[in-house]
Amino acid sequence: MLLDYLFLPMVIWLIGGSYLTAQFPGIPIGVWIVGFIVVTTLLNILGIKVADKANYVLMAFQLLVLVFFVALAIGNMVSSNGAGGLASGQPFSNDTASFATVSAGAAIAAYSFLGFDAVTTLTEETINPRRTVPRAIMLVALIGGGIFVAVSYVTQLVHPGGVFEDSASAASSIALQIGGQLFGAVFLAGLVVAQFASGLAAQASASRLMYAMGRDSVLPKAVFGRLNEKHHTPVANLVVTGAVGLIALFLDVATSTSFINFGAFTAFTLVNVSVVFQYVRQRRAGQQLNPVSYVVVPAIGAVICAYLLSQLDSNAITLGVSWLVLGIVVLALITRGFKASPPEMTATEKATVEAAA
């Protein structure tokens, strides 16, 4: 999970830098990445309420741009092929698609659907978290997933296939195709705003996760378990996350997203396996659970996640396995050779109320 959360802001900033570099090729991508990191870190240091207000404005703008993108794409299709072209199976099945290519693409594209679980890291800064956080997880997954599927569908109708002059800035090229220079500029602004807003939330989530781990002595408490006295934010963790983001200067988008997806696929595989173990444990205790919900569905989920994990970039697998080994070593140290229970990260109602106040 920590690998996932540490690298997520980095990839977001890298994608934002790629968009801007494609538009302004004379400016090195490093300038944009560093700019994203500095501004995002400063806003997060000022506090969750400041970041939250900024996020509302940014989110409204990017949603408006998405609506215009879909409308222009539909208009472009209708003018070219008539209204009948809007209902097509071509984006899902065509001559260029094969199981191998779709699987390899899915292993990277899964990045678009990640992050819904990140809201759990803000539990102690949420009012009535027992009700709010589970609902937020489901809503983010459903709404975000719906948006990605809808936009991807109309994009494939306008530009079938996966061949682009520059895959890192393909969306900007399509925006120019369907809306001309004016909408291309507006769309670029929307993309940059989207990356900035996403980076703001992702960095906040990563810093809160490290703070919880530091407070519970999973990480060094003196560094990671402290809050700034003035702003009540984990400044050291935000700086660490920003520093990790500088790795983006040496990576491309595909490789960096594979790093994140390794952590996500590993975590989701084990979550599904845990549900099966829960079924076995409850059966032994005499409680009857639905075998479809507790065995069949999670077993299918575990197999799919494990398969997609095997399709990732070899560098990502190497880094992920190395990180996993390091985690086992750390776990052995803090549990004195697996003789003691590992620390549990918990959120109290008292801490939640104080943080939200």
pLDDT tens track for 225-271:
888 888 888 999 999 999 988 988 887 777 777 777 888 888 889 99
Model confidence at 355, pLDDT cuts 50, 70, 90, reads very low
**Residue 154 domain flag:** yes
pLDDT at 348: 54
Cα distance between residue 16 and residue 190, in whole Å: 10
Q: What is the mean pLDDT of residues 338-345?
A: 77
**Residue 266 domain flag:** no
- Listed ranges 82-86, 107-111, 190-194, 255-259; the one with the highest mean pLDDT: 190-194
pLDDT at 109: 77
Cα distance between residue 178 and residue 295, in whole Å: 46
Q: Is the pLDDT of residue 90 over 60?
A: yes
Q: Is the pLDDT of residue 44 over 80?
A: yes
CATH number at residue 166: 1.20.1740.10
For the chain, percent of residues with pLDDT exceeding 70:
93
Q: Is the pLDDT of residue 176 over 90?
A: no
> pTM of the full predicted structure?
0.71
**Residue 307 domain flag:** no
Residue 321 CB neighbours (<10 A): 12
Query: Token pair of 33, please?
Result: 């990445």
Sort residue 166 into left (φ over 0), alpha (ψ -120 to 50) or beta: beta
Model confidence at 352, pLDDT cuts 50, 70, 90, reads very low
Mean pLDDT of the chain: 82
pLDDT at 168: 63
Domain hosting 178: range is: 2-250
**Residue 310 domain flag:** no
**Residue 233 domain flag:** yes
At 342, give phi and psi (nearest 5°).
Answer: -70, 155
Cα distance between residue 138 and residue 197, in whole Å: 20
**Residue 243 domain flag:** yes
Give the sign of the dihedral formed by CA 59, CA 65, CA 67, CA 69.
negative
**Residue 57 domain flag:** yes
Query: Token pair of 53, please?
Result: 């207000």
How many domains does the chain divide into? 1
Q: Is the pLDDT of residue 357 over 60?
A: no
Instruction: Report whether 86 contacts 77 (CB < 8 A).
Output: yes
**Residue 305 domain flag:** no
Q: Is the pLDDT of residue 277 over 90?
A: yes
